[in-house]
Structure 1
């Protein structure tokens, strides 16, 4: 039997009679308090009855979302997630999720709580109080909440993942920022003679990610065969600590062909590095980082980012990021008629469709060129 007990004006308690314990013969009851109207309580009662009948009922726990997230970070994230990704989880949870949602009991968390949380973050979510967060940042929080609650379901702590019933904000599509060949040459000319010229040159001529470039060792480069191999990446945490890790996907672990100018540049750079190492008292080995300072210490990812911005501004390329060199490499290849599959392989994309989707702004020109080429073949036959 199920009945309500009116406790306060806006509070109800559902009492479910579960019969008598077969061993102790004592009466068994399940109580659940509900805040809101009688209709709210009746709706919750139907959910409760369904879960009891299907065997999916989970007894309400006093564990808060904040306490659960601490457990999830400790028991799952720490051992199963890459360090840089885990650092991002901790940052978003501590700075945004815990202050707003952390005190809510895990079993009381509702889609409406999360939906309102997203709205508030979009309106005024910046920690410095200077407005709202972008849709991309709020989407990252959605992925964290959804992933954590998915494990809560697997661990038997909640009956469903309420984040799946929430609509995260849509992320506006932004076309990649790319340079033309004139801008590329202007930039390389400005950087020539600096310790950063080799890494910027290779970024433009190979399309490698920052982490892939700085993960290169001399053993990964075969100048005779004009190839380099991506087998590790160098990552950097917010505190400045850097570390190596394997590429995220099997496609990321790849071999990339080098242009003649890149081979020549790397040969000259290697000779220069050998002279510098002798003067500084260190020895180049196959495991030495390709891109380093005169004392052999590696160039760090954040340094590359800051130095690039400085040089880009110097030549009037405001708003251009180091990662845009990767976009530039892919876009210029596609415009030259290189097959998208080849471009995808060089970029380390998991599928060709990703390449075509990211660089869709280039494909209309390719389509037009294909139409003109076909017409020329037919008309000259």
Structure 2
């Protein structure tokens, strides 16, 4: 249950790396030493993160072999994978969002950035939206397909899971923004001798072609850097939406549904660092309500010298 892009990545790892290194070894003779040796050689050519991906894929394949009875034990369990820490999540503060938008406001891609922060949709979900998916009267967005790029060609497909196929509530500000944006697009298409229909993409090039995800990400990185925001990815706009919602008292279940997460537990785990900070803030608010110091009379009443039998 993964995207075509992910499958392509797996196939690339198998064909370009795992088969050349381990393909000649019979499964029953695939010992931990051979795998460890492969990792040692691979780390000299690629990053620890890449080798970690190889390890994870190989381990899953061998785990399946164990379930099918071809192996007694997964040899990857006896191998040390190169340590690698995932990239720390980056969320923007309200001031940083303002700085980003101030620089991006004249960009052709600004409407995508604005909608991303306002809705929490993934990049592929945003680029797959048609005008029929936008309900400006009832303030909702229907996610029914996503755009992805495979071998240089942009294609559309259905979302991976039932939770990803969802209806997302829209803020009044976003609805107003998209209404004005639609008016501008209608004027643009009239100049080109076309009529904007419900089947047109919301975010597209003037000729109607879908936006290129790679170009969009590259342009976003450039604008973010120009705004003084280092190491910010387009996907971080989704994290920013979630963090701002949580910090403003949004219910985890509602936020989880908006993000299309598999479960509320996954949402809570993903943004646990934000929730911990919220707990500290809540304790600080409670501290403001409670009186300071100890009541001497209460201490006296609990003195062990008193007769509690009376």
Q: TM-score, normalised by structure 2?
A: 0.85
Pairing 1:212-291 to 2, within 5 Å after superposition: 212-237=125-150, 239-291=151-203
Name the CA distance, whole Å, in 2 between partners of 1:261 and 1:362.
25
Q: How many residues align?
A: 291
Q: Deviations for 1:12-56, whole angstroms, at most 9, x for unmatched residues?
A: xxxxxxxxxxxxxxxxxxxxxxxxxxxxxxxxxxxxxxxxxxxxx
Task: Please state if 1:328 is matched with 2:233.
Answer: no
- Give, in angstroms, the shift of residue 155 of structure 1: 6.3
Q: Deviations for 1:318-341, whole angstroms, at most 9, x for unmatched residues?
A: 211111111111111111122222
Could you say which residue in structure 2 is the equivalent of 1:134? 48
Q: Deviations for 1:47-78, whole angstroms, at most 9, x for unmatched residues?
A: xxxxxxxxxxxxxxxxxxxxxxxxxxxxxxxx
- In 2, are the aligned partners of 1:282 and 1:295 still within 8 Å (CA)? no
Name the CA distance, whole Å, in 1 between partners of 2:181 and 2:248.
29
- Give, in angstroms, the shift of residue 154 of structure 1: 6.2
Structure 2 unaligned blocks of 5 or more: 292-310
Task: Please state if 1:102 is matched with 2:14.
Answer: no
Supply the RMSD in Å over aligned alpha carbons. Answer: 2.3
Q: Deviations for 1:292-320, whole angstroms, at most 9, x for unmatched residues?
A: 01111111211110110111111211211
Name the CA distance, whole Å, in 2 between partners of 1:108 and 1:97.
15
- Which one of 255, 279, 304 corresponds to residue 343 of structure 1? 255
- Give, in angstroms, the shift of residue 351 of structure 1: 1.6
- Describe the SS at the equivalent of 1:350: coil
The answer to which structure, 1 or 2, has the higher relative contact order (CA under 8 A, 6+ apart) is 2
Name the CA distance, whole Å, in 1 between partners of 2:242 and 2:52.
27
Structure 1 unaligned blocks of 5 or more: 1-79, 127-132
User: 1 or 2, which has the higher strand percentage?
Assistant: 1
- Describe the SS at the equivalent of 1:320: coil
Task: Please state if 1:89 is matched with 2:10.
Answer: yes
- Describe the SS at the equivalent of 1:195: coil
Name the CA distance, whole Å, in 1 between partners of 2:267 and 2:67.
35
- Give, in angstroms, the shift of residue 193 of structure 1: 3.2
- In 2, are the aligned partners of 1:204 and 1:326 still within 8 Å (CA)? yes
- Which one of 90, 94, 118 corresponds to residue 181 of structure 1? 94
- Which one of 264, 274, 277 corresponds to residue 362 of structure 1? 274
- Describe the SS at the equivalent of 1:236: strand
- Highest CA radius of gyration, 1 or 2? 1
Single out whichever of 169-178 and 292-301 deviates more from structure 2.
169-178
Could you say which residue in structure 1 is the equivalent of 2:42? 121
- Give, in angstroms, the shift of residue 281 of structure 1: 3.4
1:168/1:282 CA distance change after superposition, 3 Å: farther
1:360/1:82 CA distance change after superposition, 3 Å: closer
Task: Please state if 1:352 is matched with 2:264.
Answer: yes
Could you say which residue in structure 1 is the equivalent of 2:303? none
Could you say which residue in structure 1 is the equivalent of 2:306? none
